[in-house]
Amino acid sequence: MQAWTERVPLRHASPSPQAARLREPQGGDELALGGVDTRAAVQLLDRLFDDAPPGGAGALSASDRDGLLAALHRALWGDRIVSSLDCGACGEPYDLSFELSALQRQLHRQAPPAPVIAARTLDDDGARLVLPNAAEEDAAALLGAEEGGAQLLASIAPQPSAGRAAVCARLDVLAPLIDVELETHCAECGAMQLARFDVQSFVLQRLLDERESVLGEVHALASGYGWSLQDIVSLPRSLRRSLVQRLGGGPAAFG
Ligand SMILES: [Zn+2]
Protein backbone atom coordinates (compact mmCIF):
# COMPACT_ATOMS: atom_id res chain seq x y z
CA MET A 1 0.00 0.00 0.00
CA GLN A 2 1.39 3.35 -1.00
CA ALA A 3 2.10 5.91 1.72
CA TRP A 4 -0.24 8.81 1.35
CA THR A 5 0.25 11.43 4.06
CA GLU A 6 3.28 13.64 4.59
CA ARG A 7 6.07 12.17 6.72
CA VAL A 8 5.08 12.99 10.31
CA PRO A 9 7.87 13.34 12.91
CA LEU A 10 7.31 11.20 16.01
CA ARG A 11 8.99 13.55 18.44
CA HIS A 12 8.80 11.39 21.56
CA ALA A 13 8.96 7.83 20.24
CA SER A 14 12.68 7.15 20.62
CA PRO A 15 16.09 8.83 21.15
CA SER A 16 16.74 8.41 17.41
CA PRO A 17 14.67 10.43 14.93
CA GLN A 18 11.46 8.65 14.01
CA ALA A 19 8.69 9.44 11.56
CA ALA A 20 5.62 7.75 10.19
CA ARG A 21 3.23 8.05 7.27
CA LEU A 22 -0.34 6.92 6.91
CA ARG A 23 -2.00 5.28 3.92
CA GLU A 24 -5.27 6.43 2.44
CA PRO A 25 -8.31 5.11 4.34
CA GLN A 26 -10.52 2.50 2.72
CA GLY A 27 -14.23 2.10 3.37
CA GLY A 28 -13.44 -0.64 5.90
CA ASP A 29 -11.31 1.81 7.92
CA GLU A 30 -13.94 4.55 7.76
CA LEU A 31 -16.79 2.23 8.78
CA ALA A 32 -14.76 0.64 11.61
CA LEU A 33 -14.43 3.98 13.41
CA GLY A 34 -16.56 3.84 16.56
CA GLY A 35 -16.04 7.13 18.42
CA VAL A 36 -13.90 10.21 18.96
CA ASP A 37 -11.99 9.07 22.05
CA THR A 38 -8.35 8.07 22.43
CA ARG A 39 -9.12 4.39 21.94
CA ALA A 40 -10.84 5.12 18.60
CA ALA A 41 -7.91 7.31 17.53
CA VAL A 42 -5.39 4.56 18.36
CA GLN A 43 -7.41 1.94 16.47
CA LEU A 44 -7.71 4.15 13.39
CA LEU A 45 -4.02 5.09 13.34
CA ASP A 46 -3.00 1.44 13.78
CA ARG A 47 -5.11 0.52 10.73
CA LEU A 48 -3.57 3.30 8.65
CA PHE A 49 0.16 3.13 9.47
CA ASP A 50 2.25 2.54 6.41
CA ASP A 51 5.07 1.23 8.60
CA ALA A 52 3.91 1.17 12.21
CA PRO A 53 6.29 2.40 14.93
CA PRO A 54 7.17 -0.18 17.63
CA GLY A 55 4.13 -0.73 19.84
CA GLY A 56 1.84 1.03 17.35
CA ALA A 57 -0.19 4.15 18.06
CA GLY A 58 -0.91 3.04 21.63
CA ALA A 59 2.79 3.45 22.52
CA LEU A 60 3.00 7.03 21.21
CA SER A 61 2.59 10.21 23.21
CA ALA A 62 -0.71 12.07 22.76
CA SER A 63 1.28 14.89 21.16
CA ASP A 64 2.65 12.53 18.49
CA ARG A 65 -0.81 11.04 17.87
CA ASP A 66 -2.21 14.54 17.36
CA GLY A 67 0.52 15.22 14.76
CA LEU A 68 -0.57 12.13 12.84
CA LEU A 69 -4.26 13.12 13.03
CA ALA A 70 -3.39 16.61 11.74
CA ALA A 71 -1.59 15.00 8.77
CA LEU A 72 -4.63 12.81 8.18
CA HIS A 73 -6.83 15.92 8.09
CA ARG A 74 -4.51 17.60 5.58
CA ALA A 75 -4.53 14.56 3.30
CA LEU A 76 -8.30 14.10 3.51
CA TRP A 77 -9.60 17.66 3.50
CA GLY A 78 -6.67 20.08 3.37
CA ASP A 79 -4.84 22.25 5.90
CA ARG A 80 -7.58 24.81 6.50
CA ILE A 81 -10.00 24.25 9.37
CA VAL A 82 -13.35 25.97 9.05
CA SER A 83 -15.83 25.66 11.85
CA SER A 84 -19.11 27.44 12.46
CA LEU A 85 -19.79 29.11 15.83
CA ASP A 86 -22.79 30.90 17.31
CA CYS A 87 -21.99 34.24 18.93
CA GLY A 88 -22.73 34.23 22.66
CA ALA A 89 -23.47 37.98 22.57
CA CYS A 90 -25.70 38.53 19.52
CA GLY A 91 -26.61 34.95 18.61
CA GLU A 92 -25.50 35.26 14.97
CA PRO A 93 -23.48 32.43 13.41
CA TYR A 94 -19.92 33.10 12.20
CA ASP A 95 -17.01 31.06 10.89
CA LEU A 96 -13.76 30.26 12.62
CA SER A 97 -11.06 29.59 10.04
CA PHE A 98 -7.34 28.87 10.48
CA GLU A 99 -4.49 26.78 9.10
CA LEU A 100 -3.73 23.64 11.04
CA SER A 101 -0.03 23.72 10.09
CA ALA A 102 0.29 27.31 11.37
CA LEU A 103 -1.27 26.28 14.69
CA GLN A 104 1.14 23.33 14.94
CA ARG A 105 4.17 25.56 14.23
CA GLN A 106 3.00 27.97 16.91
CA LEU A 107 2.56 25.18 19.48
CA HIS A 108 6.00 23.68 18.79
CA ARG A 109 7.72 27.07 18.79
CA GLN A 110 6.95 27.62 22.49
CA ALA A 111 10.09 25.86 23.70
CA PRO A 112 13.15 24.13 22.23
CA PRO A 113 12.54 20.37 22.15
CA ALA A 114 13.85 18.44 25.18
CA PRO A 115 16.18 15.49 24.46
CA VAL A 116 14.38 12.14 24.31
CA ILE A 117 16.29 9.60 26.43
CA ALA A 118 13.93 6.63 25.99
CA ALA A 119 10.47 6.04 24.51
CA ARG A 120 8.24 8.96 25.68
CA THR A 121 10.89 9.99 28.23
CA LEU A 122 12.20 13.55 28.09
CA ASP A 123 15.18 15.08 29.83
CA ASP A 124 13.93 18.52 30.80
CA ASP A 125 17.09 20.16 32.09
CA GLY A 126 17.89 17.19 34.31
CA ALA A 127 14.29 16.51 35.31
CA ARG A 128 12.86 13.35 33.80
CA LEU A 129 9.38 13.55 32.31
CA VAL A 130 7.70 10.32 31.21
CA LEU A 131 4.79 11.02 28.87
CA PRO A 132 1.84 8.64 29.29
CA ASN A 133 0.88 6.16 26.59
CA ALA A 134 -2.72 5.67 25.44
CA ALA A 135 -3.49 2.89 27.96
CA GLU A 136 -2.25 5.05 30.85
CA GLU A 137 -4.36 7.99 29.62
CA ASP A 138 -7.40 5.70 29.40
CA ALA A 139 -6.85 4.27 32.88
CA ALA A 140 -6.52 7.78 34.33
CA ALA A 141 -9.64 9.00 32.49
CA LEU A 142 -11.66 6.21 34.14
CA LEU A 143 -10.66 7.52 37.57
CA GLY A 144 -12.04 11.00 36.91
CA ALA A 145 -10.29 14.36 36.64
CA GLU A 146 -8.94 14.68 40.18
CA GLU A 147 -7.74 11.16 40.97
CA GLY A 148 -6.84 10.37 37.36
CA GLY A 149 -4.91 13.63 37.03
CA ALA A 150 -2.95 12.88 40.21
CA GLN A 151 -2.15 9.35 39.01
CA LEU A 152 -0.97 10.61 35.62
CA LEU A 153 1.18 13.25 37.23
CA ALA A 154 2.80 10.66 39.51
CA SER A 155 3.77 8.58 36.46
CA ILE A 156 4.92 11.60 34.41
CA ALA A 157 7.12 13.12 37.12
CA PRO A 158 7.63 10.63 40.00
CA GLN A 159 9.74 13.14 41.96
CA PRO A 160 8.70 16.56 40.74
CA SER A 161 11.05 19.35 41.72
CA ALA A 162 8.17 21.78 41.27
CA GLY A 163 4.41 21.61 41.84
CA ARG A 164 1.75 20.02 39.69
CA ALA A 165 0.99 23.25 37.81
CA ALA A 166 4.67 23.65 36.86
CA VAL A 167 4.88 20.09 35.50
CA CYS A 168 1.69 20.61 33.48
CA ALA A 169 3.06 23.87 32.07
CA ARG A 170 6.28 22.12 30.95
CA LEU A 171 4.24 19.33 29.32
CA ASP A 172 2.18 21.92 27.45
CA VAL A 173 5.27 23.36 25.80
CA LEU A 174 7.43 20.21 25.42
CA ALA A 175 4.69 17.84 24.25
CA PRO A 176 1.86 20.13 23.13
CA LEU A 177 -1.51 18.70 22.23
CA ILE A 178 -3.48 20.22 19.38
CA ASP A 179 -6.19 20.93 21.91
CA VAL A 180 -6.40 24.68 22.36
CA GLU A 181 -8.70 27.54 23.18
CA LEU A 182 -8.71 30.03 20.31
CA GLU A 183 -9.73 33.65 20.60
CA THR A 184 -12.43 34.34 18.01
CA HIS A 185 -14.37 37.48 17.12
CA CYS A 186 -17.96 37.58 15.93
CA ALA A 187 -18.18 38.92 12.35
CA GLU A 188 -21.45 40.64 13.20
CA CYS A 189 -20.89 42.40 16.56
CA GLY A 190 -17.17 41.91 17.17
CA ALA A 191 -17.65 40.21 20.56
CA MET A 192 -14.75 37.96 21.58
CA GLN A 193 -15.34 34.40 22.59
CA LEU A 194 -13.05 31.44 23.17
CA ALA A 195 -13.52 28.38 20.98
CA ARG A 196 -12.04 25.01 21.86
CA PHE A 197 -10.33 23.10 19.07
CA ASP A 198 -9.22 19.53 19.71
CA VAL A 199 -7.77 17.87 16.61
CA GLN A 200 -8.57 14.34 17.79
CA SER A 201 -12.30 14.82 18.28
CA PHE A 202 -12.51 17.17 15.27
CA VAL A 203 -10.95 14.73 12.78
CA LEU A 204 -12.70 11.65 14.13
CA GLN A 205 -16.09 13.41 14.24
CA ARG A 206 -15.61 14.60 10.67
CA LEU A 207 -15.03 10.99 9.59
CA LEU A 208 -18.04 9.79 11.61
CA ASP A 209 -20.19 12.49 9.97
CA GLU A 210 -19.34 10.98 6.57
CA ARG A 211 -20.63 7.56 7.51
CA GLU A 212 -23.94 7.94 5.64
CA SER A 213 -22.22 9.11 2.47
CA VAL A 214 -19.73 6.20 2.68
CA LEU A 215 -22.67 3.79 2.93
CA GLY A 216 -24.33 5.56 -0.03
CA GLU A 217 -21.17 5.16 -2.10
CA VAL A 218 -20.85 1.47 -1.17
CA HIS A 219 -24.50 0.96 -2.13
CA ALA A 220 -24.04 2.78 -5.46
CA LEU A 221 -21.01 0.66 -6.40
CA ALA A 222 -22.69 -2.59 -5.32
CA SER A 223 -25.77 -1.72 -7.41
CA GLY A 224 -23.79 -0.39 -10.36
CA TYR A 225 -21.07 -2.99 -10.73
CA GLY A 226 -22.32 -5.94 -8.71
CA TRP A 227 -19.06 -6.06 -6.73
CA SER A 228 -18.93 -7.72 -3.33
CA LEU A 229 -19.02 -5.64 -0.15
CA GLN A 230 -15.50 -6.85 0.70
CA ASP A 231 -14.15 -5.62 -2.64
CA ILE A 232 -15.84 -2.24 -2.31
CA VAL A 233 -14.76 -1.50 1.26
CA SER A 234 -11.18 -2.40 0.26
CA LEU A 235 -11.06 0.40 -2.33
CA PRO A 236 -9.07 3.49 -1.38
CA ARG A 237 -11.47 6.30 -0.54
CA SER A 238 -10.54 8.54 -3.50
CA LEU A 239 -10.93 5.69 -6.02
CA ARG A 240 -14.30 4.73 -4.52
CA ARG A 241 -15.52 8.31 -4.85
CA SER A 242 -14.28 8.67 -8.44
CA LEU A 243 -16.06 5.47 -9.43
CA VAL A 244 -19.31 6.62 -7.82
CA GLN A 245 -19.11 9.90 -9.74
CA ARG A 246 -18.60 8.00 -12.99
CA LEU A 247 -21.71 5.95 -12.27
CA GLY A 248 -23.56 9.24 -12.29
CA GLY A 249 -25.67 8.18 -9.36
CA GLY A 250 -25.25 8.00 -5.65
CA PRO A 251 -24.40 10.94 -3.45
CA ALA A 252 -23.09 13.71 -5.64
CA ALA A 253 -22.22 16.28 -2.99
CA PHE A 254 -18.88 15.38 -1.48
CA GLY A 255 -18.24 17.73 1.42
ZN1 LIG B 1 -22.02 38.64 17.78
Helix locations, 124-163, DSSP H: 134-142, 145-156
- Taking the centre of ligand 1 as the mean of its atom positions, its distance from the CA of residue 185, in whole angstroms, is 8
Per-residue pLDDT for 249 more than 70? no
In tens, the pLDDT along 114-165 reads 999 999 999 999 999 999 999 999 999 999 989 999 999 999 998 777 788 8
Assign 254 a pLDDT band (cuts: 50, 70, 90). Answer: very low
- Taking the centre of ligand 1 as the mean of its atom positions, its distance from the CA of residue 182, in whole angstroms, is 16
| pLDDT, position 250 | 47
Beta strand extents in 45-190 (DSSP E only): 80-86, 93-99, 116-118, 121-124, 127-130, 179-185
pTM: 0.93
Q: Percent of the chain at pLDDT above 90?
A: 88
- Residues constituting the chain: 255
- Taking the centre of ligand 1 as the mean of its atom positions, its distance from the CA of residue 191, in whole angstroms, is 5
Those residues with Cβ within 8 angstroms of residue 73's Cβ, 6 or more apart along the chain or in another chain: 79, 81, 100, 199, 202, 203, 206
64: alpha, beta or left? (left if phi > 0; alpha if psi -120 to 50): alpha
Q: How far is CA 98 from CA 37, 103, 197, 207, in A?
A: 23, 8, 11, 19
| pLDDT, position 13 | 97
In tens, the pLDDT along 164-191 reads 889 989 999 999 999 999 999 999 999 9
- Taking the centre of ligand 1 as the mean of its atom positions, its distance from the CA of residue 210, in whole angstroms, is 30
Would you call 131 exposed, middle or buried from its count of C-beta atoms within 10 A (0-12, 13-18, 19+)?
A: buried
What element of type H or E holds 186?
none
Assign 226 a pLDDT band (cuts: 50, 70, 90). Answer: very high
- Taking the centre of ligand 1 as the mean of its atom positions, its distance from the CA of residue 96, in whole angstroms, is 13
List residues bridging with 127 in a β-sheet. Answer: 124
Assign 255 a pLDDT band (cuts: 50, 70, 90). Answer: very low
- Taking the centre of ligand 1 as the mean of its atom positions, its distance from the CA of residue 87, in whole angstroms, is 5
- Taking the centre of ligand 1 as the mean of its atom positions, its distance from the CA of residue 186, in whole angstroms, is 5
Mean pLDDT of all residues in 70-79: 97
Per-residue pLDDT for 252 more than 60? no
- Taking the centre of ligand 1 as the mean of its atom positions, its distance from the CA of residue 209, in whole angstroms, is 27
- Taking the centre of ligand 1 as the mean of its atom positions, its distance from the CA of residue 44, in whole angstroms, is 38
Those residues with Cβ within 8 angstroms of residue 24's Cβ, 6 or more apart along the chain or in another chain: 2, 4, 75, 236, 237, 238
| pLDDT, position 10 | 97
- Taking the centre of ligand 1 as the mean of its atom positions, its distance from the CA of residue 88, in whole angstroms, is 7
Assign 55 a pLDDT band (cuts: 50, 70, 90). Answer: very high
Where along the chain do its domains lie?
8-106+179-209, 111-174, 211-248
Q: Mean pLDDT, the chain, as a whole number? A: 93
Per-residue pLDDT for 1 more than 80? no
| pLDDT, position 248 | 80
